[in-house]
Amino acid sequence: MKTYTVRELNIDSRAVAAAADALAAGKIIIYPTDTRYALGCNALDRRAIDRLCRLKGIDPVKNTLTIVCPTISAASEYARIDNRAFDILRRNLPGPFTFILPAAPTLPRPLRERRNVGIRVPDNAIAAAIAEALGNPILSTSVPDAADGSAPDATIAAMLYDSIADVALAIDGGDPAEVAHSAVIDITDAAQPVVLRDGPRELA
């Protein structure tokens, strides 16, 4: 597995292009977010989605899948965002939140199995640059904890998946700003947001 070292203040465009090319080719990558390292694939590639779900043991029928977008505007192409929901997103993103929203028909079926989709716009320039270079969202799921129960860094994450052909490369973005998982907020009814999982920041 190829590993690139990239820092937010000095993003290597070649590494970003390599990550986007791998995603476009249906491969899986390891990359940083503003919370934990994540496994990602092209969210519009059904075969890649199936491979990532099998790799993590995710059942799309039972689990709401999450996509990473570079901006709220980009997210609006793949989720139904009314005025109240937009106001919540505007006040909290980019940031360590996953917002559950009704899925738009632009998403492939695995992402619409539960009719909802998780939306993330991480406060991480590397993640945003990769999604921007790909030109569509990244299906994202956190890398599992290390054997000692700690949140893995890029090196440990790469070691976990080094022998798996579908995982093409890892982006080492340094230590994440937060090691906690993102907060998960259901705003399918934006008038009554429901906190499904606490995170490093409270909802604004």
pLDDT of 111 reads: 85
Nearest to 198 by CA among 59, 66, 39, 35: 35
Tell me the domain boundaries of the chain: 2-197
CA 65 – CA 43 distance, rounded (Å)? 10
CA 191 – CA 117 distance, rounded (Å)? 18
The one-letter code for the residue type at 22 is: A
Nearest to 140 by CA among 60, 34, 47, 29: 29
Q: Return the sign of the alpha-carbon dihedral for residues 52, 57, 61, 62.
A: negative
Side-by-side strand order, sheet with 183-186: 2-5, 167-172, 28-31, 38-42, 138-142, 66-68, 116-120, 97-102, 183-186, 194-197
Q: Give, for all 204 residues of the chain, the pLDDT tens digit.
A: 999 999 999 999 999 999 999 999 999 999 999 999 999 999 999 999 999 999 999 998 899 999 999 999 999 999 999 999 999 999 999 999 999 999 999 999 888 888 999 999 999 999 999 999 999 999 999 998 877 778 888 988 898 899 899 999 999 999 877 778 999 999 999 999 999 999 999 999
The whole model's pTM is what? 0.94
User: 33 near 176, Cβ under 8 Å?
Assistant: yes
pLDDT of 7 reads: 94
CA 204 – CA 200 distance, rounded (Å)? 12
pLDDT of 23 reads: 98
DSSP secondary structure letter of residue 204: -
2-197 under CATH 3.90.870.10, yes or no: yes
Nearest to 75 by CA among 43, 28, 50: 43
User: 23 near 134, Cβ under 8 Å?
Assistant: yes
